[in-house]
Amino acid sequence: MKVVLAPDSFKGSRSAVQIANRMEEGIRIVYPDADIVKLPMADGGEGTMEIIVQATCGEFITVPVHDPLGRIIQARYGITGDGRTAVIELAEASGLALLQGDEKAPLIASTYGTGELIRHAIRAGYRQFIVCLGGSATNDGGAGMLQALGMSLMDEGGAELQRGGVHLSKLVYIDDSEFESGIRESTFIIASDVRNPLCGENGASAVYGPQKGAKQDEVKLLDHALLHYADLVCKHTGVDVSCLPGSGAAGGTGASLLAFFDATMQAGARLVMDTISFDEHIRDADWIITGEGRLDGQTGSGKVVEAVCVAAARQHIPVIAVCGSVEANAAYTAKLGLCACFSLVPGPCSVEEAIARTDEWMRERMIHIFSLLRTNKG
């Protein structure tokens, strides 16, 4: 039996690699000699850089940068195995995971550190970039990233804006005369599963701001500031990012990449699949096992589980998902292309218990599933 393991990470619990390893352990108890192919996945969020770099036998470069609140930290960017492409993961320098719960500050959090990573790679001579958007602590429209790369964002008095999305409401003038010259010589691909616009009820502030700590009144302030920012960006570049699909990714960082970097956006999961030769590796598989932290209405919007199902359907391979929680009915999971979907959690429990027992429960789910498959096989 050939089984392909292609899970996403379980955010806040285990990496995709760790989940795939636990899946394998459970399966081998039932099928010790199974041909198991592990293809850990990501959709453009945290972990995408690591999967791309490891799959291509690349390397990581560590750089001192500023975190979302302006503190110096050590962050990495990746170089693919061919030595040609720099892989920037926004969560490395500007991620929510870098902050403690009481440190969430969406009004002033900045993407400046992400800009510092790009600047370092540019000055090291790299001209091809993959920028992975996801897991951000920020809602600044990517303005901090631009400032780190030499762009001046000024108020009516000619002073540089303070960092943070709330200050964008004071933006009067954009000066790109000192913008890092290598940007215009480079190509940028955005890896993201987010298609939200920058502004409005489906925009960065309204949809993702609360996850970053924004209260209702702060969501309105941030959305107003981003709308004003979009107006100035449009006047400067001719690109209206306010309603552009994907411009709301990573607190609006997608907007700045699309407007100032002439970036192209790709579905993160499919980009990872192409990098790791997913379609080739799953050939002749009997089953594909996938999963993510929570299967819900967002899963069908470019998440890993959907992408795996689409790729599997082309080769008529059945797919089973095991997820941290399942908040969808059978009709929805069938529409995704899943043969079956199981929750990792066996019953009511706290989040802390679920995280602590993820390894144990994942092995158990695999034992149950493959015992059933073996019985049905006769």
Domains for the chain: give ranges and CATH numbers. 2-39+277-377 (3.40.50.10350), 48-268 (3.90.1510.10)
Per-residue confidence band for 351, with pLDDT thresholds at 50, 70 and 90:
confident
Give the Cα separation of 242 and 231 in Å (integer).
Answer: 8
Which residue matches tokens 């996850």?
211
- Determine the average pLDDT of the residues in 334-361: 89
pLDDT for 78: 98
pLDDT for 47: 87
Per-residue confidence band for 375, with pLDDT thresholds at 50, 70 and 90:
confident
pLDDT for 299: 78
Evaluate if residue 347 carries a pLDDT over 70: yes
Per-residue confidence band for 378, with pLDDT thresholds at 50, 70 and 90:
low
Burial (CB count <10 Å: 0-12, 13-18, 19+), residue 117: buried
- Determine the average pLDDT of the residues in 54-80: 97
Instruction: Say which residue, 352 or 257, is predicted with more confidence.
Output: 257
- Determine the average pLDDT of the residues in 156-169: 97
Evaluate if residue 222 carries a pLDDT over 60: yes
Give pTM, 2 decimals: 0.88
Handedness of CA 343, 346, 347, 351 (dihedral sign): negative
Burial letters for 198-226: b for 16+ Cβ neighbours within 10 Å, e otherwise? bbbeebbbbbbbeebbbeeebbebbbebb
Instruction: Say which residue, 356 or 141, is predicted with more confidence.
Output: 141
Which residues does 251 contact at the CB level (< 8 Å), separation at least 6? 106, 109, 111, 136, 137, 138, 139, 140, 141, 142, 165, 204, 208, 209, 212
Q: What pLDDT digit, counting tens, does each position of 85-126 carry?
A: 999 999 999 999 999 989 999 999 999 999 999 999 999 999
Rounded mean pLDDT of the chain?
A: 94
- Determine the average pLDDT of the residues in 32-44: 94
CB contact at 8 A, 139 and 212:
yes
Evaluate if residue 320 carries a pLDDT over 90: yes
pLDDT for 258: 97
Q: What pLDDT digit, counting tens, does each position of 235-293 carry?
A: 999 999 999 999 999 999 999 999 999 899 998 999 999 989 999 999 999 999 999 98
Per-residue confidence band for 221, with pLDDT thresholds at 50, 70 and 90:
very high
Evaluate if residue 28 carries a pLDDT over 90: yes
pLDDT for 223: 97
CA dist 97 to 67, 68, 92, 93, 104, Å? Answer: 11, 10, 9, 10, 10
Give the Cα separation of 84 and 314 in Å (integer).
Answer: 31
- Determine the average pLDDT of the residues in 44-72: 94
Question: 192-206, 251-265, 344-358 — which is least confidently predicted?
Answer: 344-358
